[in-house]
Amino acid sequence: MKAITQDRYGGPETLSFTDVDRPEPAAGEVLVRVRAAAVNAADWHIMRGDPYLARLATPAVFGRKGPRHRIRGRDVAGVVEALGAGVTDLRVGDAVFGDLGLREGAFAEFVAAPAELFGPAPASLSFEEAAAVPLAGGTALAALRDAGGLQAGQRVLVNGASGGVGTFAVQIAAALGAEVTAVCSARNVDQIRELGAHRVLDYRVEDFASEPVRHHLMLDLVGNRTLRHLRRALTPDGTLVLSGGGVSRGGSAVGPMGLMIRAGLVDRFVAHRLCVFSATPDRGLLAELRDLIDAGRVTPRIERTYPLSATADAVRHLETEHARGKIVITVA
Cα–Cα dist 328/314, whole Å: 8
- Note the pLDDT tens digit of each residue in 271-302: 999 999 988 999 999 999 999 999 999 999 99
Whether the pLDDT of residue 120 is over 90: the answer is yes
One domain, residues 225 and 164: yes
Q: Classify residue 281: in a domain, yes or no.
A: no
Cα–Cα dist 215/233, whole Å: 6
- Note the pLDDT tens digit of each residue in 155-210: 999 999 999 999 999 999 999 999 999 999 999 999 999 999 999 999 999 999 99
pLDDT of residue 332: 77
Q: What is the mean pLDDT of residues 56-84?
A: 94
One domain, residues 308 and 264: no
Whether the pLDDT of residue 65 is over 80: the answer is yes
pLDDT of residue 251: 66
Of the pLDDT bands very low, low, confident and very high (cuts 50, 70, 90), residue 91 is: very high
One domain, residues 141 and 263: yes
One domain, residues 143 and 93: no
Among 75-84, 85-94, 273-282, which stretch is predicted with the lowest mean pLDDT?
273-282
Is this structure's pTM higher than 0.85?
yes
pLDDT of residue 193: 96
Q: Classify residue 156: in a domain, yes or no.
A: yes
One domain, residues 78 and 167: no
Cα–Cα dist 313/105, whole Å: 18
- Note the pLDDT tens digit of each residue in 55-64: 888 898 999 9
pLDDT of residue 57: 85
Cα–Cα dist 267/178, whole Å: 24
Q: 316, 317, 288: which is closest to 302 by C-alpha?
A: 317
One domain, residues 226 and 323: no
pLDDT of residue 245: 78
**Buried/exposed 12-34: b ≥16 CB within 10 Å, e otherwise:** bebbeeeeeeebebeeebbbbbb
One domain, residues 220 and 263: yes
Report the domain count for the chain. 2
120 half-sphere exposure, CB direction, 13 A CA radius: 13
Q: Cβ distance 223 to 278 under 8 Å?
A: no
Q: What share of the chain is helix, strand, coil (3-state, %, to 5)?
A: 35, 25, 40
Report the mean per-residue pLDDT for the chain.
94
Cα–Cα dist 244/51, whole Å: 12
Edge-to-edge strand order for the sheet containing 215-220?
Answer: 199-202, 179-184, 155-159, 215-220, 234-242, 273-276
- Note the pLDDT tens digit of each residue in 242-264: 998 766 666 677 778 888 889 98
Residue 272 belongs to a domain with what CATH number?
3.40.50.720
Whether the pLDDT of residue 119 is over 70: the answer is yes
Residue ranges making up the domain that contains 271: 135-276
Residue 332 CB burial class (10 angstroms; 0-12, 13-18, ≥19): middle
pLDDT of residue 249: 63
- Note the pLDDT tens digit of each residue in 122-167: 999 999 999 999 999 999 999 999 999 999 999 999 999 999 999 9
Q: What is the mean pLDDT of residues 224-239?
A: 96
One domain, residues 245 and 315: no
Cα–Cα dist 34/331, whole Å: 6
Ordered DSSP codes for 160-206: TTTSHHHHHHHHHHHHTT-EEEEEE-GGGHHHHHHTT-SEEEETTT-
- Note the pLDDT tens digit of each residue in 8-34: 999 999 999 999 999 999 999 999 999
- Helices within 15-77 (DSSP H only): 41-48, 52-57
pLDDT of residue 227: 95
